[in-house]
Structure 1
């Protein structure tokens, strides 16, 4: 399954249950009045709402305020306050079965779930990888747990925010904010869970990064997508004037990247940045969006303000071409299928041929778009709008149905495993 969601969505997708309501204790469905319900949604969908994350399944809407899930939405770790402590349990989003609850001493907030859904990292605060600058602190407490209880308890010197687990679950990628008590920039590091010691990533050729050559970032992490095989995390960064990659710091060359795709290999623990050409990164971060092809071979990055789509080879980690498009305004969104890529900004959805990246159709929608998601068979395109989600024939754009979603903030993706 291809996942194309926001950066926080890679780590906090929520899913839930349709038939097994008892499995989601404390997460009762909120149903629209019968007169307002137009259709039952065909695929379970995860969305942001004002009061948290919600699952749309059929005619049900379920909200879980304190939860985090695997990147494909198949497994969810949910938490609830229990006096001075926290209870934690795992939900199978496909079957709605829930594990027994585990008591974690103290107050903890879930942050990141391993790609296989077996482990979760929690911290004391709600600072997230895409939540902007965290408050200053000298030590970060991190708890790593699974359905059987606590596996690691770490006291990391410095200001750290968990981002993702390594593929083998022996390490935890974190954003380390610098300086710790008054942060204004950050770098990506990996913590060895056995020792609790953070260290630098490797370069693309698996060489250790020399001291002083770790990249430090100040810009916006706009969006992330996970490779279909769950081994690589791609994050789109914008507004990075004067930024120097590790390769620039090692070689002594000047750097001035305004936008790039940070490639993090979760299996081999190396990172590499693919620079995007001018004018990517010059306009608002919200006007940029990224999607990955279902086979994982191509990343498509759109800048609607300048009217351009960059086609990146994930094997070569280079921009193969940049194709001009009609310019747009507003927040950008993208979703890719086997033969088309869909871009949206404002009240327009555009379908592009995946091979040529030329437009095949523009579809108007009534409200500004707040997210796109494609059904697994590629036949339906879900479009978030103001207080509603509609779905359309992906070939023609014809609206097939619509459900009201009061307080909708954005569409995150499909729920459950493929």
Structure 2
């Protein structure tokens, strides 16, 4: 329920500058450049954790979480039997003083303003993993001053996001707790530590027994530019019923993919169903992107070649179109007029990058990419399109597709977005 794009629900980390590496305890690798220096600092994902690529230098933080806009990072490191926690200005590379937290903790999610962080005893990707079985989940809420609250939440939960007012914490509650195979989204009142249901879109509490239980795969999360709504793409939902269907008693429709819409301010959730054939192909063949003004959300299934446009105002699918089909993992990023779609690579096929005109939802250009894709990001001024590929970040002119530069990044596995100054 990531640009800012967040892999649901996975929020990232960074650090910048050689001096900041020593200050923050990072591991500079000094990756050599091939074709110039990186014009914009980027938040990246590498085998060793999360980090920032600045110029030709890569610096990694093994444990950390960043705001979706890439401005602030909370990072942690073992400090004896305890944990050191500090905050980093991602764009400038400056770090706060470290505070000591009792026990061993790792950051799991951070508030959209970067002021609060929820830590758990083990990190779990909310889009890619299910936690080990447990009856109780310890959660620590902290800020730059140290511990604010220590919770022992009943059941098997994974923190996902803070409410906008910082009074609540959205969590995934896995069921059954000791052998999880499905989950539901709940909100914990941080004043009392008591979890409860969300509200409906009509702002009424969801009745007991009517909460959605999801069994499918959370592919990707996108935070709205106004930071008030989190959209998460789900695929493959066997025997799933939306809250609205469970309340009404209707059987629901045979839907294999939908966008879960979570309002961080008003605490309601709503699912936008995606039509056939969304969700019938591989989960990683789906991707999602939002326009800079937040008015339109695009979901693409490259396996079938289908793209859908969702109005974020009325939460309906306005139109769909068929594009040429592709293979491999899909990635998407949008500006006001164009949608850039990348298909990683599959057996017997190479990677490809397409530009889709949003006025007509038609492909205007398609270019082969020499290496498999692991991510797409637009620069803040939208003048450069960054591609994560095997062991390198390349950047192109979005209009012509001409490659402008390339920097080697050992262990690169993905892109988060620009690292912006706080």
**TM more than 0.5:** yes
Aligned residue number for residue 402 of structure 1: 406
Distance 1:139 1:379 in 2: 48
Distance 1:168 1:417 in 2: 23
* Kept in 1: contact 2:5–2:68 (CA 8 A): no
The answer for unaligned runs of 5 or more in structure 2 is: 346-350
SS of 1:77 mapped into structure 2? strand
Distance 2:272 2:23 in 1: 41
1:272 matched to 2:263: no
Aligned residue number for residue 282 of structure 2: 284
User: Shift in Å at residue 100 of structure 1?
Assistant: 1.0
Distance 2:135 2:184 in 1: 16
Query: 1:356-413 CA deviation, whole Å, 9 max, x = no partner?
Result: 1111111211111110000111111001111111000011110000001111111221
SS of 1:98 mapped into structure 2? coil
Distance change >3 Å, CA 291–CA 417, structure 1 → 2: farther
Aligned residue number for residue 59 of structure 1: 56
Query: 1:228-287 CA deviation, whole Å, 9 max, x = no partner?
Result: 010000000000132100000011111232100000000000000000001100010000
* Kept in 2: contact 1:70–1:113 (CA 8 A): yes
* Kept in 1: contact 2:299–2:307 (CA 8 A): yes
1:172 matched to 2:179: no
Aligned residue number for residue 32 of structure 1: 31
Q: Please, what TM-score do these two structures have when normalized by structure 1?
A: 0.96
Query: 1:75-104 CA deviation, whole Å, 9 max, x = no partner?
Result: 100100011110101011122221111110
Distance change >3 Å, CA 98–CA 397, structure 1 → 2: same
Aligned residue number for residue 315 of structure 2: 317
Aligned residue number for residue 104 of structure 2: 107
Query: 1:162-215 CA deviation, whole Å, 9 max, x = no partner?
Result: 000000100000000011111111000000000000000000010110110000
The answer for unaligned runs of 5 or more in structure 1 is: none
Please identify, of 351-360 and 107-116, the stretch whose mean Cα deviation from structure 2 is larger.
351-360
1:416 matched to 2:416: no
Aligned residue number for residue 397 of structure 2: 393
Distance 2:70 2:82 in 1: 26
Aligned residue number for residue 360 of structure 1: 364
Q: Please, what TM-score do these two structures have when normalized by structure 2?
A: 0.95
* Kept in 2: contact 1:23–1:91 (CA 8 A): no
Distance 2:78 2:21 in 1: 18
Distance 1:228 1:332 in 2: 22
User: Shift in Å at residue 298 of structure 1?
Assistant: 0.4
Distance 1:377 1:354 in 2: 19
Please identify, of 43-52 and 327-336, the stretch whose mean Cα deviation from structure 2 is larger.
43-52
* Kept in 2: contact 1:23–1:98 (CA 8 A): no
| Runs ≥4 residues deviating over 3 A | none
User: Shift in Å at residue 20 of structure 1?
Assistant: 4.4
**How many pairs were matched up?**
414
SS of 2:256 mapped into structure 1? strand
* Kept in 1: contact 2:300–2:308 (CA 8 A): yes
Aligned residue number for residue 301 of structure 1: 299
* Kept in 2: contact 1:17–1:23 (CA 8 A): no
* Kept in 2: contact 1:202–1:270 (CA 8 A): yes
Distance 1:344 1:153 in 2: 42
In the TM superposition, what are the counterparts of 1:86-165 in structure 2 within 5 Å?
A: 86-165=83-162
Aligned residue number for residue 384 of structure 2: 380
